[in-house]
Every structure is written in structure tokens, then in C-alpha cells.
């Protein structure tokens, strides 16, 4: 699996140990991790780049996100750039694991109503289990596929609900079932 890793360049001074632990763990599981843009760059180097170099990098960044299987974002240090990259990944419908080790979750993603975003607090002692659970989710091994036939009238209704609520039909159906399970 190809995994795009992102984190704050400024936060690297405080969280590089965490970044490396996450990247090394993913690689130890046999995944290809795109992380050089974080590990081998500094904020001052980015500031010295020409406009053309920044635009060329942005094209690379978009291609990496577009072609990855999922994204892992370490967000313990706030970063607008990381938020932008997460938004790009959402546009491309990529599953995203948002990790944070201190404080509260990033406010824009903590309560996001998209099943593709998983937001988890971690420590250097438990992050492996969190990552494994996320990768199982990405692989779909944690879910069971269930197919059934519906009438055209129901299909039309589901299409309308999905467009209105801006959620996939499967998410809508899952929410109905979960709500019914609570009341059972």
C-alpha cells in the first residue's frame, strides 16, 4: 500500500521523534511511505524557494495524494498546510488517519462527518494498534459487504437523500441501522 504521510515542518523540532516512529512503523509493515517532503525539508528551505519551484512542488504533492491509497497526518503541531493537504485528500476520496499526541483533536476534523476521516489521540506506546486498525479499515477487512436488491422508488429516495445530505448512500443506511440498534 502507498501511504502519504504529512505533518508540520515547524513542528518537526518538537515532534520529529513521533514522525519517524510512525513512518518507520508503516515501512516495517511493508508499506511505501511518501514522507521525504517532511523529513528532508526545513521551513527555511521552503521559504527560499522560487515561485516556480513552489508551483512544481505543489503539482508533485497533488500527484502523491491523488495516487496514494491513504493518508496519515500527524497533527500535534497545528499547520494550515497539513489542513490543506487533508482537504486535498478528501477531494480525492482518500481515507485519512489524523493522529495527535497532545491536547485536543484538530477542531476542523474532530467532528467531521465523513467516514473516510479517522481522528485518534496516540502515544508512542499505542500508536501501532491505532495504525493497524486504520489500515484494516482501509483494506476493508474490518467491514463486511452486504448486498441486497431495492426497488427503483427506494433507489430514487436514497439518491435524493445522498445528494441533500452530501453523504454516500451506504453511510446513510449505516446511520439508520446504528440508530435502530440503539433503540432495540
pLDDT at residue 145, as a whole number: 63
CATH of residue 44's domain is 3.40.50.450
What is the pLDDT at residue 88?
Answer: 95
Which candidate, 76, 58, 71, places its Cα nearest to that of 13?
A: 76
**Contact criterion met (CB below 8 Å) for 11 and 76:** yes
User: How many domains does the chain fold into?
Assistant: 2
Both 162 and 123 in one domain: the answer is no
Q: How far apart are CA 14 and CA 106, in angstroms?
A: 17
3-state secondary structure of 111: coil
Shared domain check, 88 and 158: no
Please report whether residue 146 resides in a domain.
Answer: no
Measure the CA–CA gap between 124 and 98, rounded to whole angstroms. Answer: 15
> In terms of residues, how long is the chain?
184
Query: Cβ(11)–Cβ(102) under 8 Å?
Result: no
- How many angstroms from the chain centroid is the CA of residue 154? 32
User: Does the residue 144 lie in any domain?
Assistant: no
Contacts of 101 (CB under 8 A, 6+ apart): 15, 18, 74, 76, 121, 122, 123, 124
Q: Please report the pLDDT score of residue 178 as a whole number.
A: 85
Structural domain that includes position 176: 152-183
Per-residue pLDDT 10s for the chain (184 aa) are 999 999 999 999 999 999 999 999 999 999 999 998 898 877 777 777 788 988 888 899 999 999 999 999 999 999 999 999 999 999 999 999 999 999 887 777 766 677 788 888 999 998 998 999 888 888 774 456 677 788 889 888 988 987 887 777 777 888 898 888 889 8
Cα separation, 109 vs 37, in Å, equals: 23
Question: Residue 107 in 3-state DSSP?
Answer: helix
**How far is 37 from 149, CA to CA, in rounded Å?**
47
Closest listed residue to residue 97, CA positions, set 125, 141, 127, 64: 127
Amino acid at each position: 500500500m502507498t501511504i502519504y504521510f504529512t505533518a508540520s515542518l515547524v513542528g518537526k523540532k518538537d515532534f520529529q521523534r513521533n514522525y519517524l516512529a510512525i513512518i518507520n512503523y508503516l515501512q516495517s509493515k511493508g508499506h511505501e511511505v511518501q514522507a521525504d517532503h517532511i523529513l528532508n525539508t526545513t521551513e527555511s528551505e521552503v521559504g527560499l524557494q522560487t515561485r516556480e519551484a513552489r508551483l512544481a512542488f505543489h503539482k508533485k504533492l497533488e500527484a502523491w495524494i491523488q495516487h496514494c491509497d491513504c493518508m496519515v497526518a500527524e497533527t500535534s503541531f497545528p499547520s494550515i498546510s497539513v489542513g490543506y493537504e487533508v482537504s486535498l485528500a478528501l477531494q480525492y476520496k482518500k481515507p485519512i488517519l489524523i493522529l495527535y499526541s497532545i491536547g485536543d483533536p484538530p477542531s476542523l476534523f474532530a467532528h467531521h462527518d465523513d467516514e473516510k476521516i479517522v481522528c485518534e489521540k496516540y502515544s508512542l506506546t499505542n500508536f501501532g494498534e491505532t495504525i493497524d486498525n486504520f489500515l484494516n479499515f482501509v483494506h476493508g477487512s474490518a467491514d463486511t459487504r452486504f448486498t441486497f436488491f431495492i426497488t427503483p422508488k427506494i433507489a430514487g429516495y436514497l439518491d435524493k437523500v445522498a445528494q441533500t445530505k452530501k453523504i454516500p448512500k451506504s453511510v446513510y443506511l449505516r446511520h439508520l441501522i446504528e440508530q435502530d440498534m440503539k433503540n432495540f
